[in-house]
Amino acid sequence: MSLLNTFIFRTVPTIAVEWAGARRLGEILSESFAARRVMLVTDMGVRHAGLLDPVLASLDASGFAVTVFDQVVADPPEAIVHACAEKARAAGTELVVGLGGGSSLDIAKLCAVLMGSDQPLAEMYGIGKVTGGRLPLVLIPTTAGTGSEVTNISVITTGETTKMGVVSPQLYGDLALLDAELTLGLPVLHTAATGIDAMVHAIEAYTSKFKKNPLSDTLAREALRLLGGNLIAACQNGKDRAAREAMLLGAALAGQAFANSPVAAVHALAYPLGGHYHVPHGLSNALMLGPVLRYNMAAAAPLYAELSDVLLGPRPGRDEAVRSQEFVAEMERLMNESGAPRRLRDVGVTDNSLAMLASDAMKQMRLLVNNPVEVTEADALALYREAF
């Protein structure tokens, strides 16, 4: 008989899965919110892709007064958060909607929190540091990757290059709307990188050292099944509706998993690549995954063997060591077939910066403590060398 460890599982109260749901966002919001002054947080890529206009038309038809902040950039600095919150304040915003990739959703979350209290952003970094409430918050992803629509985390670039996380339950939105139609136009490399990032969320949640629990495990396994089974199809044919729907749902399930059982060394080593080289978040995770999987094998082999059964189906007669190796090989195969760049040198990282990256990765103790195997600065350097 095995006893359950104590655990707490939190997530968003409502997830709506609806093809083309964003086109009737006004109706959807009217069903749940009395607020009428909306701040819509997005980026120019979403606007140029033509995703914004139908949403604005729907909100207008339902009588919402909308202010748009479309200045979100990748690796968003604090200045973007402040600019967004100022604009929201000036507009008398009552409800915040995030529409976009992880950065837009992260900014929307912080905007809603900053509007809800007088606490300065600088005091919010870390785990459980947010003290006030927030405005009503709706999150609509346009990529199948970060899972930000269902997590309690926003990642901001502070100073020049350091990624800092705000992790607090107030950052869970009221509603996550999963409309896979929004992801149809994602270019193949973006589809590959964000999809692999979502798989990393599932894998790291499943092997997380302290907070892994039966609910996060269940979500991580189903996420990995959906993502692993549809990544290549979504990359090969971006218009494949079934694959897009599976990827978006899989990314959200992985987000729910890692919000409760945090990510670890892959993300800790990926963040400096974003900070210094602006390698997109998903791609930086894809580049570090292989080396970290092999490194973690020392402790995580039994769990990798379980995940190999999720990706490849049960294969009787194969022992744990073989199945764990097959899991790593399958992840390598998926990454190779996805078309994503495979080496740090392919994305502009230089040999002589690896020591600096390793030193920076040590700042991500919030994540590194969750890794199944301890990572020292020397280990981090070796992992960057392997990825180079």
**Nearer Cβ to Zn ion, position 88 or 251?**
251
What single-letter amino acid sits at 35?
A: A
Q: Are 90 and 64 in contact (CB under 8 A)?
A: no
Q: Among residues 182 and 251, whose Cβ is nearest to Zn ion?
A: 251
Where do contacts with Zn ion occur on this chain (CB under 5 A)?
197
User: Least CB distance from residue 379 to Zn ion, whole Å?
Assistant: 20
Closer to Zn ion by Cβ: residue 56 or 227: 227
Residue 181 C-beta: closest distance to Zn ion, Å: 23
CB of 55 to Zn ion, least distance (A): 25
Q: 93, exposed or middle or buried, with CB in 10 Å at 0-12, 13-18, 19+?
A: buried
Least spacing, CB of residue 63 vs Zn ion, in Å? 37
Residue 68 vs 270, nearer CB to Zn ion: 270
Query: Which residue lies nearer to Zn ion by CB, 58 or 146?
Result: 146
Contact 200, 267 (CB under 8 A): yes
Minimum Å gap between C-beta 347 and Zn ion is 16
Q: Which of 145, 141, 361, 101 is nearest to 250 (CA)?
A: 145
Please say which residue, 149 or 197, places its beta carbon nearer to Zn ion. 197
Ramachandran class of 206: left when φ > 0, alpha when ψ lies in -120 to 50, beta otherwise: alpha
In 3D, which of 188, 142, 202 has the Cα closest to residue 338? 188
CB of 292 to Zn ion, least distance (A): 13
Nearer to Zn ion, 66 or 307 (CB): 307
Mapping DSSP to helix (H, G, I), strand (E, B) and coil, where does residue 50 land? coil
Q: How far is the CB of 117 from Zn ion (least distance, A)?
A: 27
Give dist(CA 71, CA 338) in Å, integer: 30
State the minimum distance, in angstroms, from the CB of residue 145 to Zn ion: 7
Going by C-alpha positions, the residue among 87, 33, 86 that lies closest to residue 59 is 33
Is residue 20 within 8 Å of residue 179, measured between CB atoms?
A: yes
Task: Name residue 116's amino acid.
Answer: G
Pair of tokens at residue 96: 């915040």
Least separation in angstroms between CB 201 and Zn ion: 6
Pick 197 or 379: Cβ nearer Zn ion? 197
Cβ-proximal residue to Zn ion, closest one:
197
Nearer to Zn ion (CB atom), residue 197 or residue 360? 197
Give CA separation, 116 vs 92, 112, 167, 175, 361, in Å: 12, 6, 16, 17, 32
Give the C-alpha separation, 75 to 268, whole Å. Answer: 15
Residue 131 vs residues 121, 141, 220, 235: alpha-carbon distances, Å: 11, 26, 30, 42
CA–CA separation, 279 vs 46, rounded Å?
19
- Identify the helix (H) or strand (E) that includes residue 102: helix 102-116
